[in-house]
Chains A and B, each alone.
Chain A
C-alpha cells in the first residue's frame, strides 16, 4: 500500500487519505464562496464577478451557462488557478486556491487541474504524443499504460507522430482532452470545448470526455453556450452580470 502511495501515479486525494487526513471525497471537491473579480480598464474597474457561490462534488459535472460577458470564463479561470480573485474563497481538493502565490498556483494547475480550451491551445512544437504526455511528465505522473489507453479511446492511434497543425479540429480537441486527463486530474475544466467543432464532432468529443471523466472520477466544470450540451451534465448553473441567475 505504502509503495503504491509513493508511486507517481498516486493522486493528491489518495495522498491525503494515506496521510491520515479526512479524504477530500468527504467534502465537496470544489467550493466557491462569495468570489469577486473585477478588471481594470481606462474607464475604471469593471466588476465581472460580484459574489459567486458554487460547489462541485468529485465525480460530478456542472455546466456554466450565460451570455457573453456574464463572467463564466472568468469564474472558470479563477477555479483553475489561472487568475487571482479579488475577494472570496475558492477551495479545490482541500487546497485554498485564493491567496496562493504564482508558483503555488502553477503547481496546482500542473498537478490537480486539467484544462481544455475552445482554441485547443496545443503546444505547436510538440507531436501528438508529446502533447499528450507534456503535463503528466511536468507533474511527474506520466503513466505509459494510461497514455496508451487514452490514445486508443480517443481514436488517436497512428497520429502520435503528427504535429497539431497536421490534425483536424476534432482531432486537436481530442488531443487536448487527452492531455488534460493524462495527469488523472481532480478537476477538469473546459471552456467551450466544442465551440470550434461541428455538432456531430462536438457530440462525439463530449461523449468521449464524459466517459473518461467517469473512469477517472474527477470533477468536470464546463463553460458552454449550448443548453443542449449543458443538459448532458449533472448540473447547470447560469451566470448573468457576474452573479448566479439560475441553478
Chain B
C-alpha cells in the first residue's frame, strides 16, 4: 500500500507538471513556427524608427547596397468574424529557415508569385476555415485570398502570401512592416544610417517575437500552477518514502550489524528510489499527456481570445518533454527522499528499540519548521520590498505560501491544545490529545491541503473579482446598442448618411482606429466623437477636470492603464505617438481600464486621428438607438445595406462573446485548481493509509478499555474533519493574501492592469465544504478498514510474542 501511494503521488505530481509543460511547449512551438515564417531564429529585423512602416524603396536601396534583407508585411484580416494573421513574404529573398524558402527552388514558385498566387496555411487553419485546398475565402473587408495551399510548416492561424498580394489585401501599397536580414548578413547599424538616414533601426533580438513576449506571463502563470501541484504531489512522496524508510530502519540496522557496508545500502536505496521514480514518472507523463490534451482547447481559446495567438489543435510531444518530465520526477523523488537517506547515513548501529518519543520529536520538528517558516516569510518580504518584475511577484507568493504552510502545524497544535483544555469528558479529552499526537504524521498532508485550499481561495477571489470588474466594465464600455463595420470607406460614408434617415437611431459614433508602435509595443489609437455615451459611462481610473473637453478639442488623449504603466506616464505627461509622417505629441488627460488587452490603447478625437493618421481604418461605428429598437434596426440594416455592411452585432452578442472568452480563459485555471485539490486529497489519503498500522497500536488500548470499534471509527473521522476544518479556516486569510498578491503584484507585472480587490464570503463556505469533503473521502477507506479490523488483529498489539 505504501508503494502504491508513493507511485501514485509521484505519478500525479509528474502528471500535472508535465501536462502544463506540454501545453506551454505546444504554444511555444506554435509561436516559433509563426516566427519562423521570417527565417531562422536569431535573424535580425530592420524596422522603422518611428514604429510604423518601412517604404518599399528603402528595401530596394538596401538590397542595392549589398544588404541581404527580405521584405515582410504583417497585418490582421478577419474572415467570418475570426482574426487571422496575414504575412506577406518575398520567396526569392526570404531567409533559409522560412517554410516558404523551399519555394525558391520548388516547382510551386511560379504559382506562388503569379496571379492569383497562393496562400500557405496549416492544416488546422484549413479546417478552421472550413475550406479545401484551392478555395479562395473572402475577408470581411471583401478581398479574396489567393487559393489556399496546405503547408504544415506554417503555424496555425497564419496566412502566408506573396508580399504583393499582402499589400493589396491589407491596403498598404509600397509599405513594409520589416526587413528581415539573413543570418549571414554582417552589416552594421552605421551603414544603415548612411543609406536610409535615421528612419530605420535594427530591432534587438528580445524585441522580436511579439507573441512569445506577450504570452510569457500567461505561460508563467501556468508554470506556477504546475509547480504548485508538483510540490503538493511531492508531499505525498515525502510522506510515503519517510514511512517506508521508518519501517525498514530495524532491517537496515540488522544489515549494518552483520557487516553490510553503508555505501552499498545507500546505493541500493538510491537505486530503488530512482527505479520507482522512473516507473512512476513514466506513468505520470502518460497522465500528463492526457491532461494536456483535455485542457488544450481551453488554453488555445484563452491564447486566441487574449493575445490573438493561434495554438495548434493537436498535441505534439517532443523528446525533450519526456526527458524533462522524467528528470523532474527523478529530482523530485530524490529531493523527497533526501532526509530519509540522510537518516540511514547517520543511523546508529546500536540504537535500542526505544518507543518513539513523539512529543519530543514533534516539539523539535515544530521548532525547525517555525524557524524555516520565518525565513520564508522574510524572503517574501524582501522580494516584496526590493524585488522587481513577475519573478519577484511569484517569489512573494511562494515565500508566503511556504511560510504559512510550515506554520500550519504550530497553529493546529495551539487550537488542539485549547480544545483539550476545554474538553471535560474522558473521550473528548482523548479526542483532542490524540488528534494532536496524530499531527506529526499528517502535517505534511495538511500542509498540502492548506496550499491547495488557499490557492483555491486566492485564485477564486481573483477570478471572481475579475469577473465582477470585467462584467461591470463591459457594461460601461459596451454602452452603444449596435456595433458595425462597413466593407469600405465609401460604404461607411454611404451607411452614415443612410443612418441619418433612420429615425430610431439617436447617434452614429465613429470608432476609427489606427495602429502604431510606441517603443516597440503595438498600440491601437482610437478616434471617437464627443458624446454623452462616453462622458456619462466611460469609466476613468484618473483624469484631469477638463479631460473630456480637452479630448473633444484635440488637446488631450486618454490612454489605457497598461500603456500608462508600461511607459511610466502620469496625468499631464506628453505621449509621443508615431504617425506615418511624424510623431504626434499629445498630453495625457486620463487613464482608463482596458482589462485583457495585450496591446496599448489611446483614445483621441476622431478628427484629430484622421489628421495624423491618413490611413486610419474608418469603417467601424457604434450606434445609439431608441430603447428596444436594436433588433429591428439591425434587421433593416442587413436587409437594405447588403454587402456594404461587413459585420453588424448587437450589444448583447458582443458582451456574450467577451464573457465567453473570459470564461474559457479561466477554465484552465479552474481545472488546475481542482486537480491541485484532488492531489492534496490523495496526499491526505496516502498519509492516513500509511499511518493506519501505527494508528492501530494507538487505538487498540482505547478499544480494550471499552470503546467500540464503531465509536473509534466515528472519532477517527471526526479528528480528520476537525483538522481539515481548522486548515480550511486558516486557508481563507492565506488565500486572501495570495489573491492580493495576484491582484496587486502579479497581474500588474504580467498584464499591466490592476483589479479592484473584492472578497466573496460564499466562496469560503464552498472551500470549507470542499475541505471537509476532501478529508472525509480521504479518511473513509482507512476508517472502514479500522472498523472492520478483527479483534484478534487488534489484540496482536498486546501479544507478548508480537
Could you list which residues of chain A lie within 8 angstroms of chain B, going by C-beta atoms?
39, 68, 73, 77, 82-84, 102-103, 106-111, 115, 117-119, 121-126, 130, 133-135, 137-139, 142, 163, 165-166, 179, 191-192, 195
Contacts and interface: CB of A to CB of B under 8 A. Distances in A.
Interface string B346-382: 0000000001111110000000000000000000000
A39 B430 CA distance: 33
Nearest to A138: B426
Nearest to A119: B798
Interface stretch (B118-126, B231-239, B539-547, B707-715): B707-715
B355 to A, nearest CB: 6
Given A39-B792, A102-B710, A165-B358, A82 B705 contact: no
A111 to B, nearest CB: 7
B704 A138 contact: no
Contacts of A82: 704, 791, 794-795
Contacts of B707: 106, 110, 138
Nearest to A130: B429
A109 B792 CA distance: 16
Contact of B704 (A84, A118, A121, A165): A121
Contacts of A107: 706
Contacts of B703: 106
Given A68-B801, A73-B799, A110-B705, 13 more contacts: A73-B800, A102-B708, A103-B708, A108-B706, A115-B704, A126-B429, A134-B426, A134-B430, A134-B705, A135-B705, A137-B426, A142-B426, A165-B357
Interface string B589-605: 00000000000000000
B800 A118 contact: yes
A163 B794 CA distance: 23
Nearest to A134: B426
A137 B428 CA distance: 11
B430 A191 contact: no
A107 B703 CA distance: 11
A109 B800 contact: no
7 contacts: A77-B791, A106-B708, A118-B798, A121-B797, A123-B433, A138-B706, A165-B360
Contacts of A138: 426-427, 705-707
B429 A109 contact: no
Given A102-B710, A106-B707, A137-B426, A77 B437 contact: no
B81 interface: no
B698 interface: yes
A198 to B, nearest CB: 15
Contacts of B360: 165
B795 A83 contact: yes
B789 to A, nearest CB: 12
Nearest to A179: B705
Interface in B136-170: none
Contacts of B623: none
Interface of B: 355-360, 425-427, 429-430, 433-434, 436-437, 698, 700-711, 791-792, 794-795, 797-802
A160 to B, nearest CB: 14
A34 to B, nearest CB: 21
A66 to B, nearest CB: 12
A116 to B, nearest CB: 10
A123 B797 contact: no
A165 B706 contact: no
Nearest to B799: A73
Contacts of B801: 68
B798 A125 contact: no
A118 B434 CA distance: 22
Interface of B (DSSP majority class): helix
Nearest to B794: A82
B781 to A, nearest CB: 21
B798 A121 contact: yes
Contacts of A73: 799-800
A115 to B, nearest CB: 6
B704 A195 contact: no
Contacts of B800: 68, 73, 118, 191-192, 195
B426 A124 contact: no
Most buried by B among A68, A138, A192: A138
Given A82-B704, A118-B800, A163-B359, A125 B433 contact: yes
Most buried by B among A83, A107, A111: A83
Given A84-B791, A102-B710, A134-B426, A124 B799 contact: no
Contact of B798 (A84, A108, A134, A191): A191
B520 to A, nearest CB: 65
A165 to B, nearest CB: 5
B429 A115 contact: no
Contacts of A77: 791, 795
Nearest to B427: A138
Contacts of A115: 704-705
Contacts of B434: 123, 125
Contact of A111 (B355, B706, B709): B706
Nearest to B704: A115
Most buried by A among B436, B701, B794: B701
A204 B150 CA distance: 95
A137 B427 CA distance: 8
A29 to B, nearest CB: 19
Contact of A121 (B356, B357, B427, B700): B700
Contacts of B792: 39, 83
A83 B791 CA distance: 6
B416 to A, nearest CB: 10
Nearest to B797: A121
A126 B433 contact: yes
A53 B360 CA distance: 48
A79 to B, nearest CB: 13
B705 A102 contact: no
Contacts of A166: 359
A125 B704 contact: no
A101 to B, nearest CB: 9
B517 to A, nearest CB: 68
A205 B398 CA distance: 56
A188 to B, nearest CB: 13
A179 B701 CA distance: 11
A164 B798 CA distance: 16
